[in-house]
Structure 1
Amino acid sequence: MQDFMRHSEIQAPTGPELHCKGWGQEGALRMLMNNLDARVGENPAQRIVYGGRGRAARSWPAYDKIVESLLTMDNDETLLIQSGKPVGVFKTQPGAPRVLIANANLVGKWATLEEFDRLEQMGLTMFGQMTAGSWIYIGSQGVIQGTFETLAALATKHFDGTLRGRLYVSAGLGGMGGAQPLSVKMLDGVALLAEVDARRIQKRLDSGYLDVGLESIPEAVNIALQAKAEGRALSIGVHCHANELLQYLVAERITPDVLSDQTAAHDPLVGYIPDELTVEEATILRAEDPSQYLQKARQSIAHHVENMLVLQRAGAQTFDYGNNIRREAFDQGVTDAFEILGYVPAYLRDLFCEGKGPFRWAVLSGKPEELYQLDQLALDMFGDNPLLRRWFTLARQYIQFQGLPARIAYMGLGERDAFAVRVNEWVAQGKLSAPVVFGRDHHDTGSVASPYRETEKMADGSDAIADWPILNALLNTAAGAHWVSFHHGGGTGIGYSLHAGAVVVADGSDDSAGRLSRVFFNDPGIGVIRHADAGYSLAEKTMLAHSARMRAPFVGPASNIPSDTRA
């Protein structure tokens, strides 16, 4: 057991040997450890996986107890995790989840960053982000494919379906933002990214996600413009604050074709470095005077959005990439911050209406060749989708694995479950030497209520209705996911989102086949129903095409109004 409780150089075991009493527990154990692998997580020493302070466990003693529980619990027991700390193991039933997780959830009136910070400092809670605290983070690839899908939709809408000859400008090369340079390059564009932490630039250079790292803004801009003129794909990271880069572009009257941001502005205390501070100075001020730090960070965020608005009005296709930067700026007096579009209503809502979203899997054998077998299986099953085919082809060329070999792909209703069940058959037949873990980002069709991101500008005005992610978690529990999570604050920050996740291990058994079939149809299915209920005709068509497996007794906003109150 001590081998699994190391607090440094953590790596998940690989291969077919069970260390737990069942693959549900084993899969959870390995993915927890994979989150804290130094090749995967941003700061494993602090149990931080990504997204500012998104953690996998609240403390090292809590981590040890989680590991001990997973190693010893029976196949009819369920482990409960309260904000990164194990609080109980209960007898349930063999078909129930092995782990249920709740992270950072606060009663509405108290759901503020200030109250969360106070409770976190008391050791009572933990920020789980989305896939950090639900143990299904797979490194930057998990974000790359979503960024790829978003930018492909943008290119189709505004350009000629490609970013060739286009300049994309943004900031942030952390666990989320690190996906940007490679995603742009995969669509043949030029990416110019500001990053204040030189270590992050180096990490992306080492991984191949970034081509060039520079200290000089003028040099970086000149190289980017030259590559744009030549129609050459290139990614450049420049060591500076976001505002330094944007102010230079404004002053020189250089307008990028596309403009966004991927700093962790949703968590200004930890995720955003104020303009006048170095990373080292910020660390000191954050510890000595957090209130002054927050003031400085929020002033910088306001200036950041003001610069984005100037460039948007000059012609840049500008969008908020879901980090709540507009709201932070709005609260500082930037009253026109929401003139910047959110990326979901701008580019992804149709995909959600079709039940499409960030499906992912990791091979527990640890063998890259087995992941490539699954790549080919996905192409054989769904290769008539040209964007999916391009993704798999380019991912194999560009993506370096972080920790366990893993893949992500936007698959829709009826595709996820079909693929997962087929993979389970391969495990049973011995075509794969160990089980495969299937999950997804929480950023999905029916698992999030986030009015400044996934549910922004819903057709029926239901942006802030959080019943849907709760129903999603309950449905996935009833369907038998091996572990289910429900979090507060991921993506856009405390007070601004509620979201759920689900994971199933394909171990080759009939039991897993049933879980995979139910969970990965029902999970996107409730998203389709959620959008059909809001009045989206594409979602209603998708739902009707799958009516043999689900039905919605009441669809559409009007049908939800009691008859005696209708106008």
Structure 2
Amino acid sequence: MSQPTDTTGFARSLAEGIPDRLPPAPEKDRSVSHAPTRRQVLTPAEKKLALRNALRYFPSSQHEILAPEFAAELEQEGRIYMHRFRPTEYPMAARPIGEYPARCAQAAAIMLMIQNNLDPAVAQHPHELITYGGNGTVFQNWAQYRLTMQYLSEMTEEQTLVLYSGHPLGLFPSHRDAPRLVVTNGMVIPNHSSPDDYERLAALGVTSYGQMTAGSFMYIGPQGIVHGTTITLMNAARKYLGASGDDLLKGKLYVTSGMGGMSGAQAKAAVIAGAVGVIAEINPEAIWKRHEQGWLDEVETDLDRLLARIELARVNGEAVSLGYLGNVVDLWEKLADNQVPIDLGSDQTSLHNPFGGGYYPAGLTLDESNRMMADDPARFKDEVRKTLVRHVDAVNRMVGQGMHFWDYGNAFLLEAARAGAPVTAKDGSFIYPSYVEDIMGPMCFDYGFGPFRWVCTSGDSGDLRISDGIAARVLSEMAAEAPPEIRQQLLDNQRWITEAEGHAMVVGTRARILYSDEEGRKRIALAFNEAIREGMISAP
């Protein structure tokens, strides 16, 4: 985790909010991934409204400079991010909680998590304030970030901050037991909630899509989804492959796609589960980022060499992740044409955003796709749909050869059906299950097991190690007395937490996740409280 060199300057900058004097406009930083140019959807009158919405954060004396600058951003990027106000005076990363200029610990913790969500090591497109999923937004612009940090630095335990799609409405009187922060994102009535409506409202600067943990400031890096993916793969092996014991997926092949903020967890999860994981990713920045972080073992650009490596790994029973830098449809078609024996398959492209960078057509490079997305969105949409049909055709062929496939909750089947691909039965239902209804639901969620996360606000790896040990002890005690229907889940989570540090999953602030039911959450939380009270853990 990055450490500041000047905590006084850092604290002063956060507490200042939007500076009185305009900061210099930074050059575009090519060392980080940037969001694709969004398509132009606003009328001339709506573009003026978008500018007025953006300029409301600034005194009229600055409008002459900022108006043309923001207009250029809107024209060139499809959004107004206010790049001039992106902080460059300090590294964007979560710091120990004591370094934040806050009047209450809750506010400092929120500031810590906001910066974690925007850390370039964590976020997908950090300078466009996108944490994951192509459009999982923390704030709509950098003015909102600066204002929110200012409010949090002023907040007491008798106040609550209210945010609406990143826009801070202000600090309101409340009480110690009230929430310190109330957040709502993307609240739109159903008749105006289509994808086209979203694009227009987002371009206007009046709504944002916060995903599950981006706009609520709770993202702990891809580790958060590694655990769920690991448990999903292990239970899929039990259900679909009849596997048992510790080596559930040894010599088994899992094929999928995505190396982004969430999907990037699949490579690590496949290795933890003991499988040969093959993951396609078209964005070189995303795939090399995961490789450099140690989350992806190998990267291949040639499909023939990849198939040879897959066979070697499968025969040797390796637990290894193999990344393919290219389009996932090219991968699926190559596997199908060569009748490669695949055991499990899924997809984690961002098909909740199919025409805005969440899914890329086959036959085009990433740059060609991004240009077409902005310059000819109708053709881009048509190419996406054609590719989805090919995608499904290859998957169907592999299922015919014995592969088990599921939808990962990313709208793959929904968008494939809309594209005309054969994914529905005669009664209109999908021919493949979702991972929730078929795997995680009956095996975890139906028994009250779900994500339970904690963050060590000290930033100290020692605190995380102690918390891992506490959680493992509680899970062991619970497993010894649990009924048979939930004992396996407790044992899976105990194994996960015992091995977690060894898998080096922390990206960003020191945090951990496991799945727990209500009893487990209470027992682990109470044990954490006791450890903090006794000084075993140094901070909340």
**TM-score bin (small chain):** 0.7 to 0.9
Q: Per the alignment, do residues 89 and 16 of structure 1 end up closer, same or farther by CA in structure 2, a change over 3 Å counting?
A: closer
Q: How does 1:81-92 map to 2 (within 5 A)?
A: 81-92=163-174
Taking structure 2 as the reference length, what is the TM-score of the superposition?
Answer: 0.78
2:457 to 364, 375, 383: 364
| 1:250-269 alignment, distance < 5 Å | 250-268=336-354, 269=356
Provide the residue aligned with 2:314 in structure 1: 228
Structure 1 Cα separation of the partners of residues 13 and 361 of structure 2: 41
Residues 1:99 and 2:176 aligned together? no
| CA distance in 2 between partners of 1:85 and 1:312 (Å) | 47
Structure 1 residue 187 displacement after superposition: 1.4
Q: State the partner residue of 1:346.
A: 438
CA shift for structure 1 position 122: 1.0
5+ residue gaps, structure 2:
1-10, 18-85, 425-429, 480-489
Query: CA–CA distance in 1 between the matches of 2:528 and 2:494?
Result: 19
Structure-to-structure mapping, 1:167-566, within 5 angstroms: 167-268=253-354, 269-337=356-424, 338-350=430-442, 351-383=444-476, 384=479, 385-435=490-540
3-state secondary structure, aligned to 1:67: helix
What does the per-residue CA deviation read over 1:50-90, in whole Å, with 9 as the maximum and x for residues that have no partner?
01110111110011111111111221111111111112321
Unaligned runs of 5+ in 1: 436-567
- Which whole-Å CA distance do the structure 1 matches of 2:323 and 2:498 have between them? 25
Shift of residue 219, structure 1, vs aligned partner? 0.9
User: Is 1:7 paired with 2:17?
Assistant: no
> Is the contact made by 1:192 and 1:221 (CA closer than 8 Å) also made in structure 2?
no
1:172 and 1:178 in contact (8 A); partners too:
yes
Structure 2 residue aligned with 1:529: none
Q: In 1, Cα distance between the equivalents of 2:160 and 2:120?
A: 29
Q: How much has 1:251 moved relative to structure 2?
A: 1.1
Partner of 2:40: none
- 1:224 positional shift: 1.1
Q: CA deviation at 1:188?
A: 1.2
Larger relative contact order (C-alpha < 8 A, sep ≥ 6)? 1
Counterpart residue number, 1:527: none
Which residue identity lines up with residue 299 of structure 2 in the other structure?
Answer: G
> For the Cα contact (< 8 Å) 2:94–2:115, is it kept in 1?
yes
For 1:364-392, what per-residue CA distance to the aligned partner results, in whole angstroms no more than 9, with x for missing partners?
10111110000000111112432112212
Q: Tell me by how many angstroms 1:17 deviates.
A: 5.2
Report the counterpart of residue 78 of structure 1 in structure 2.
Answer: 160
Number of matched residues? 435
Which protein is richer in strand relative to its size?
A: 1
Q: Deviations over 1:245-280 (max 9, x none)?
A: 011111112231111111111111221111122122
Report the Cα offset of residue 302 of structure 1.
3.0
Q: 1:7 to 1:222 in 2, by over 3 A?
A: same
User: Structure 1 stretch 60-69 or stretch 348-357: which is displaced more?
Assistant: 348-357
* Counterpart residue identity of residue 445, structure 2: F
Q: Which secondary structure state, in structure 1, belongs to the residue aligned with residue 531 of structure 2?
A: helix
Indicate the SS of the match to 1:177: coil
Amino acid at match of 1:254: V
| Identical pairs, percent | 32
1:123 aligned to 205, 209, 215, which one? 205
User: For 1:36-115, what aligned pairs fall within 5 Å after superposition?
Assistant: 36-115=118-197
Per-residue CA distance 1:172-198 (angstroms, 9 max, x = gap): 111111111111111111011111112
SS in 1 for 2:452: strand
Residue 290 of structure 1 and its aligned partner are, at CA, apart by 2.9
Deviates more, 1:129-138 or 1:306-315: 306-315
* One-letter amino acid matched to 2:391: H
On the 8 A contact 2:475/2:491 being kept in 1, the answer is no
Distance 2:232 2:517 in 1: 16
What is residue 482 of structure 2 aligned with on the other side?
A: none
Structure 2 counterpart of 1:408, which letter?
I
Distance in 1 between residues matched to 2:491 and 2:177, nearest whole Å = 38
Whether the 8 Å contact between 1:15 and 1:433 is mirrored in structure 2 is no
